[in-house]
């Protein structure tokens, strides 16, 4: 820290993203899709578009917001777009929780929520999960605080239903409830319809996982016109041109290509179920993940050791050295052949342990 | 404003970007380059790169920071990259001024500085320019506040020299001095060398103007390792993957193509000088702009009327309805043929007034 940085940020501990590597490995550590983006993306990122990059992108993001709105059956003024869903979450927590405001989230969840609370000076309550890692919805009923919950949750992969989301939203009418649906495409229980009924719900989604566009950085929030106007007010006071022209074009094309993505998502779900079954046969305890990753633990080898041994074999998975989950691995559902290599490697590692 | 937005932002007035239009017009209102980006940009944004967008971008931005560092003769850890230079300015003012901290800037300058002060709760002093619109450097000597100055300044286009920057930086050792060099490529008096000598200087640059990449959203700051580490701390607590893979590739290729950009920049400078001379012949008062725009005023027609009449002819220029500059137009230096059309149109408009 330099001697110039505001004392507000003295104890700030930044988020640590999963490792990004250049060498040839099987990368199952950051929940990326094993599939390339829709061919429509390649089509729209053509020389005509690239040669016009001398012109500013549209700060209102009309094309992209319209494309998203159409998919979700809402109007474009109910859609806020960010430079990745992290951008959406940052503006939402900055705006609705404010300095000295409140926020509640699950104790085990996306590791960025406490960082946002820290950077924006928000009083954060982290609520323990049930012993089976499920979110205890009752803990959030009538909470009287702003709330952010990932559904499906990460890194557990567990999800709860729309009716339970509605109970939380309806019972906290004076606070904003943020449902982070980064992984919802692999689950199919989105609460996005509820934004038409409740003015205090913000549903956050991303192109990074389901739409094979992690490298493009586009996320969005769906909510009431008033919430979205607030987020735009902050965006226009921080970084009006927050999404570049290439991302606008690519994401707009991608979200319209349901045929391509429905197929890839169902393949990922099928692989998830197949590999989860195989891990269970090997004695692993796996949660009932509804996302594009598997959360698994074994009595036969501890998670940090398994992660290290997989790494030696060129397979990266995510290990969290945190209480309650430090014997679990979060394993992204990758390509079938890579997942087969994973199972084979785990088998070998377990055999060596015998 | 919804009933949920923090009271901190009640009076926040967002920045208003210049109008972006889709219809065919001569667009001289947002200081874009009339030239497409370097052909190298088209080369690197190929199908191989696009088909790998399923993978996250590098949050450390090694490739891009190295490419920039090489151009400026610094090390990559002295370079911070943002999603446009607005992103860099936002993190810098957020981090170094903090809530309740201080900032001084010229009264007439980039309209975003007061917005940043507002959103981050910074006590802003706006210091009047000299009557000729030049920055009075003495006003900033030993100021004892954080400082941000655009050099060349906008919308005046006037610049001051490196030795004067050094006086400001050296006399404010306990505060951060941000020199916003968005337009410096058209001027050639960058103070970036001073970052090796002073730990309190941050030089901010952008790819938007000189590098014909406004639509790509890449800006950067050059400063001491400690300042850059602070900015990265904030970035990793707000939006770690703030620049996407396409922008990384394109900007890295662009900044290395000096041959292409040196030529385009010198053409823009030549057009600026030619058109400034023609406007002066028409009786306009033009500042000695060192940027890619002309700041001009006429006694024969007031600026708002001229802007409206140019607009009727399909030519957009920027008019600021603000005290002291409300009889000036900021006119981007566009393609030669468009600038000729501008001069012709102004001639006609002045003739009609007779």
User: How do residues B143-199 score in pLDDT, each as one tens digit?
Assistant: 999 999 999 999 999 999 999 999 999 999 999 999 999 999 999 999 999 999 999
How far away is chain A from the Cα of B197, in angstroms, using its nearest Cα? 15
C-alpha to C-alpha distances, B167 to A57, B92, B161, B325, nearest whole angstrom: 37, 21, 10, 28
Beta bridge partners of B82: B219
Other C-beta atoms closer than 10 Å to the C-beta of A170 total: 16
- Contact: B9, A234; criterion CB under 8 Å: yes
Beta bridge partners of A295: A330
- Contact: A226, B96; criterion CB under 8 Å: no
**DSSP 8-state class, residue B19:** P
Using CA atoms, how far apart are residues B317 and B300, in angstroms rounded to an integer?
18
What was the pLDDT predicted at B17? 79
Model confidence at B334: pLDDT above 90: yes
pTM of the model as a whole: 0.95
Other C-beta atoms closer than 10 Å to the C-beta of B43 total: 12
- Contact: A14, B237; criterion CB under 8 Å: yes
- Contact: B53, A33; criterion CB under 8 Å: no
Using CA atoms, how far apart are residues A318 and A331, in angstroms rounded to an integer?
6
- Contact: A53, B47; criterion CB under 8 Å: no
Tell me the average pLDDT of chain B.
Answer: 95
**DSSP 8-state class, residue B79:** E
Nearest to B2 among A86, A212, A230 (CB): A230
Measured in whole angstroms, how far is the alpha carbon of residue A70 from the centre of its chain? 22
Q: Which are the contacts of A150, defined by CB distance < 8 A and separation ≥ 6?
A: A106, A109, A110, A180, A181, A182, A183
Residues 45-104 in B contacting A (C-alpha not used; CB under 8 Å): 45, 47, 50-60, 83-84, 86-87, 90, 94-99, 101
Pairing label, strands A293-297, B102-106: unpaired
How far away is chain A from the Cα of B59, in angstroms, using its nearest Cα? 8
- Which region holds residue B105: left if phi is over 0, alpha if psi is between -120 and 50, else beta? beta
Q: Inform me whether the C-beta atom of residue A240 falls under 8 Å from chain B C-beta atoms.
A: yes
Residue of B nearest to A83 (CA): B242
Residues of A with CB below 8 A from B216's CB? 53, 244-246
Residues 110-149 in A contacting B (C-alpha not used; CB under 8 Å): 115-116, 118-119, 121
Residue A132: exposure state from Cβ atoms within 10 A (0-12, 13-18, ≥19): exposed
- Position of tokens 């009933």? B3
Provide mean pLDDT across the span B267-286: 98
Residue of A nearest to B231 (CA): A5
Using CA atoms, how far apart are residues B78 and B86, in angstroms rounded to an integer?
18
Residue of B nearest to A228 (CA): B2
Residues of A with CB below 8 A from B27's CB? 55
* Cα angle value A311/A312/A315 (rounded, 5°): 35
| Residues counted in chain B | 354
Q: Which are the contacts of B84, defined by CB distance < 8 A and separation ≥ 6?
A: A239, A241, A242, B206, B208, B217, B218, B219
C-alpha to C-alpha distances, A282 to A79, A183, A344, A345, nearest whole angstrom: 44, 26, 11, 12
Beta strands in chain A (DSSP E): 26-28, 79-82, 102-106, 123-127, 147-150, 177-180, 201-206, 219-222, 285-286, 293-297, 315-319, 328-332
Residues 3-22 in B contacting A (C-alpha not used; CB under 8 Å): 3-9, 12-18, 20
Residue of A nearest to B5 (CA): A96
How far away is chain B from the Cα of A29, in angstroms, using its nearest Cα? 11
Using CA atoms, how far apart are residues B80 and B69, in angstroms rounded to an integer?
10
Which strand (E) or helix (H) includes residue B107? none
Q: Which are the contacts of A294, defined by CB distance < 8 A and separation ≥ 6?
A: A157, A272, A275, A276, A279, A286, A287, A330, A331, A333
Q: Inform me whether the C-beta atom of residue B229 falls under 8 Å from chain A C-beta atoms.
A: yes
- Contact: B233, A200; criterion CB under 8 Å: no
Residues 258-317 in A contacting B (C-alpha not used; CB under 8 Å): none
Digit-by-digit pLDDT tens for chain A (354 residues) are 778 777 777 787 888 877 766 667 999 999 999 999 999 999 999 999 999 999 999 999 999 999 999 999 999 999 999 999 999 999 999 999 978 899 999 999 999 999 999 999 999 999 999 999 999 999 999 999 999 999 999 999 999 999 999 999 999 999 999 999 999 999 999 999 999 999 999 999 999 999 999 999 999 999 999 999 999 999 999 999 999 999 999 999 999 999 999 999 999 999 999 999 999 999 999 999 999 999 999 999 999 999 999 999 999 999 999 999 999 999 999 999 999 999 999 999 999 988
How far away is chain B from the Cα of A146, in angstroms, using its nearest Cα? 10
Beta bridge partners of A285: A297
**Residue A74 and residue A195 in contact, taking contact as beta carbons nearer than 8 Å:** yes
Paired tokens of B241: 């993957």
What was the pLDDT predicted at B22? 60
- Contact: A53, B41; criterion CB under 8 Å: yes
Residues of B with CB below 8 A from A97's CB? 6
Which strand (E) or helix (H) includes residue A199? none
What was the pLDDT predicted at A18? 75
Model confidence at B20: pLDDT above 70: no
What was the pLDDT predicted at B99? 82
**Residue B254 and residue B40 in contact, taking contact as beta carbons nearer than 8 Å:** yes
Mutate to test the interface with A, among B24, B27, B38, B217 (most CBs of A within 10 A): B217
Q: Which are the contacts of B87, defined by CB distance < 8 A and separation ≥ 6?
A: A239, B217, B219, B242
- Position of tokens 């967002």? B14
C-alpha to C-alpha distances, A188 to A162, A164, A184, A269, B185, nearest whole angstrom: 10, 15, 6, 11, 51
**Residue B117 and residue A26 in contact, taking contact as beta carbons nearer than 8 Å:** no
Determine what percent of chain B is predicted with pLDDT higher than 70. 99
Measured in whole angstroms, how far is the alpha carbon of residue A84 from the centre of its chain? 10
Beta bridge partners of A204: A180, A221
- Position of tokens 């001073």? B194
**Residue B37 and residue A54 in contact, taking contact as beta carbons nearer than 8 Å:** yes
- Contact: B96, A5; criterion CB under 8 Å: yes
C-alpha Rg value of chain B to the nearest Å: 21
Mutate to test the interface with B, among A8, A14, A54 (most CBs of B within 10 A): A54
**Residue A97 and residue A103 in contact, taking contact as beta carbons nearer than 8 Å:** yes
- Contact: A246, B45; criterion CB under 8 Å: yes
Residues of A with CB below 8 A from B5's CB? 95-96, 230, 233
Report DSSP letters for A3-61, one per residue. Answer: TTS-GGGTT-----PPP---SS-EEESS---SSPPPHHHHHHS-HHHHTTTTSPP-TT-
Model confidence at B203: pLDDT above 90: yes
- Contact: B15, A51; criterion CB under 8 Å: no
What was the pLDDT predicted at A156? 98
C-alpha to C-alpha distances, B35 to A190, A352, B43, B217, B265, nearest whole angstrom: 45, 63, 17, 16, 10
**Residue A341 and residue A26 in contact, taking contact as beta carbons nearer than 8 Å:** yes
Nearest to A215 among B12, B47, B52 (CB): B52
What was the pLDDT predicted at A102? 95
What was the pLDDT predicted at A21? 65
Using CA atoms, how far apart are residues A159 and B312, in angstroms rounded to an integer?
57
Residues of B with CB below 8 A from A83's CB? 83, 239, 242, 244
- Inter-chain contacts counted by CB atoms under 8 A, chains A and B: 291
Pairing label, strands A328-332, A293-297: antiparallel
* Cα angle value B110/B113/B119 (rounded, 5°): 145
- Contact: A20, B240; criterion CB under 8 Å: no
What was the pLDDT predicted at A5? 79
């Amino acid at each position: 820290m330099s001697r110039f940085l505001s004392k507000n940020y003295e104890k700030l501990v930044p988020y640590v993203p999963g490792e990004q590597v250049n060498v040839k490995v099987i990368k199952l550590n950051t929940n990326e899709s094993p599939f390339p983006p829709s061919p429509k993306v390649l089509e729209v990122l053509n020389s005509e578009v690239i040669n016009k990059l001398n012109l500013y992108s549209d700060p209102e993001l009309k094309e992209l917001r319209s494309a998203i709105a159409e998919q979700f059956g809402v109007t474009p003024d109910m859609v806020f777009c960010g430079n990745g869903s992290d951008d959406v979450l940052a503006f939402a927590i900055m705006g609705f929780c404010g300095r000295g405001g409140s926020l509640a989230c699950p104790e085990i969840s996306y590791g960025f929520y406490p960082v946002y609370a820290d950077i924006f000076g928000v009083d954060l309550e982290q609520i323990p999960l049930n012993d089976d890692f499920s979110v205890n919805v009752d803990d959030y009923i009538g909470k009287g605080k702003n709330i952010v919950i990932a559904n499906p949750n990460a890194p557990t992969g567990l999800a709860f239903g729309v009716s339970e989301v509605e109970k939380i939203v309806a019972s906290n009418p004076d606070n904003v409830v943020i449902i982070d649906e980064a992984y919802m495409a692999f689950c199919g229980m989105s609460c996005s319809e509820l934004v038409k009924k409740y003015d205090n719900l913000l549903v956050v989604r991303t192109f990074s996982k389901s739409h094979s566009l992690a490298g493009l950085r586009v996320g969005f929030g769906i909510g009431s016109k008033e919430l979205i106007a607030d987020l735009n007010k902050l965006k226009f006071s921080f970084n009006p041109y927050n999404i570049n022209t290439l991302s606008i074009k690519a994401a707009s094309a991608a979200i319209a290509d349901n045929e391509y993505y429905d197929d890839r998502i169902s393949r990922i779900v099928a692989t998830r179920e197949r590999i989860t079954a195989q891990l269970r046969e090997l004695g692993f305890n796996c949660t009932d993940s509804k996302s594009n990753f598997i959360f698994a633990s074994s009595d036969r080898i501890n998670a940090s050791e398994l992660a290290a041994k997989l790494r030696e074999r060129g397979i990266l998975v995510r290990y969290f050295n945190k209480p309650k989950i430090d014997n679990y691995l979060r394993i992204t559902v990758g390509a079938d052949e890579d997942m087969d290599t994973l199972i084979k490697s785990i088998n070998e590692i377990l055999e060596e342990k015998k």
